[in-house]
Amino acid sequence: MNQYLGLFKNPPWDFALVLTLIAVAFFWGASKGKRSIGFIIINLYIMLALWPFFPIDILTAGRTPVETWAFRAGAFLLILILLLLFMSRAFDWGGRDGVWWEVLILSILAGGFFISILMSLAPPGAIEKNILFLNPLVLNLFADAQIVRWWTILPILGVLFV
């Protein structure tokens, strides 16, 4: 238990990134409403479906696993932002909606789903050998195959039922 409490006292970069993503999603949802977080979750699913069709592996050939992961994650994020910009024009955004706990749940689900997608972009063996020097808690929560399935299923259920 003390090892997990120590994460909050002196957090490693990957754990701080997870907390930052959840906080950003929460404050985004608090200002824009839960529909905007649902919109981001839907776009993450669209990107997950489209990602295999982008020829990123041609550009990352011959690179180290860390460089390959960083390039894939950066390309994924750039294409996601472009998709969000183009798709947002098609939707009419009303005022804020949702109470704080709905926004918090959707924020956690969106952040967790995004981190699990970023972990899946790592080259084979980079996660098992921990070449990226990730925290064991982050590896267990976002790279374990059984838990990743839940990170894939729960956000869409959150959009549907919260």
For residues 87 and 148, which has the higher predicted lDDT (pLDDT)? 148
The pLDDT-based confidence of 34 (bands split at 50, 70, 90) is confident
Percent of residues, the chain, with pLDDT higher than 70: 87
Is the pLDDT reported for residue 14 higher than 80?
Answer: no
For residues 148 and 124, which has the higher predicted lDDT (pLDDT)? 148
Max Cα–Cα distance, the chain, nearest Å: 48
DSSP state letters, 115-147: HHHHHHTSPTTTTTTTTT---HHHHHHHTSHHH
Give 97-139 pLDDT, tens digit per residue. Answer: 668 888 888 888 998 999 899 888 888 788 888 887 888 888 8
Q: Token pair of 143, please?
A: 């790279």
Q: 103, 26 in Cβ contact below 8 A?
A: yes
